[in-house]
């Protein structure tokens, strides 16, 4: 039987993460990565690496939530690993303010740590804003993480 082969297009965080997950899921698979740019010249190299799902489609929310949870669990396993600092993966807490009222909490609110709506007093400290939340999530220093993914 011939060896299974997969081609991944792109060497940014999505392409390399996909390649590593495929490699972990299918032992012995042959993976080829095709890209016009590799780190440090990808769009991902300039990203903030901040975990916060954005624009989740309502029609496939269950699938999107599963992907969000899978990603959260994977990244949290890296945060808790002894190599977290070398990978550039860590937790970060902060405020997220907005100039409009937030009609409902996002579907990922129970995945992040300590999610809460801001109090009236907190919002008053930033008078240009009308609403906001506080939570702990994860950040990835992509300039460290992409080379690690390539070595995998």
pLDDT of 3 higher than 90: no
Tokens of 45: 């190299």
Asked if residue 70 and residue 29 are part of one domain, the reply reads no
Q: Which pTM does this prediction carry?
A: 0.82
Per-residue pLDDT reduced to its tens digit, 106-122: 989 999 999 999 999 99
63 and 37 share a domain? no
Residue 114 shares a structural domain with residue 136? yes
Of the pLDDT bands very low, low, confident and very high (cuts 50, 70, 90), residue 1 is low
Does 62 share its domain with 39? no
Judgement on whether residues 76 and 30 belong to the same structural domain of the protein:
no
Indicate the number of domains in the chain. 2
pLDDT at 36 over 70: yes
Q: What confidence score (pLDDT) does residue 60 get?
A: 81
Cis check for the bond before 103: say yes or no (omega within 30 of 0).
no
- 141 shares a domain with 79: yes
Range of the domain at 11: 1-47
Nearest to 139 by CA among 82, 96, 81, 76: 76
pLDDT of residue 46: 84
Q: What is the DSSP string of 18-67?
A: HHHHHHHHSTT-EEEEE-S--TTSSGGGGS--B----S--GGGHHHHHHH
């Amino acid at each position: 039987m011939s060896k299974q082969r997969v081609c991944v297009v792109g060497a940014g965080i999505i392409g390399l993460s996909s390649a590593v997950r495929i490699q972990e899921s299918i032992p012995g698979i042959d993976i080829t990565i095709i890209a016009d740019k590799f780190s440090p010249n990808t769009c991902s190299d300039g990203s903030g690496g901040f975990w916060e799902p954005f624009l989740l489609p309502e029609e496939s929310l269950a699938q999107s939530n599963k992907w969000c949870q899978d990603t959260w669990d994977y990244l949290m396993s890296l945060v808790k690993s002894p190599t977290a600092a070398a990978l550039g993966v860590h937790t970060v807490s902060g405020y997220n303010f907005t100039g409009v009222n937030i009609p409902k909490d996002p579907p990922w609110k129970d995945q992040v740590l300590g999610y809460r709506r801001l109090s009236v007093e907190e919002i008053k400290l930033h008078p240009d804003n009308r609403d906001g939340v506080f939570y702990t999530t994860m950040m990835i220093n992509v300039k460290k993480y992409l080379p690690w993914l390539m070595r995998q």
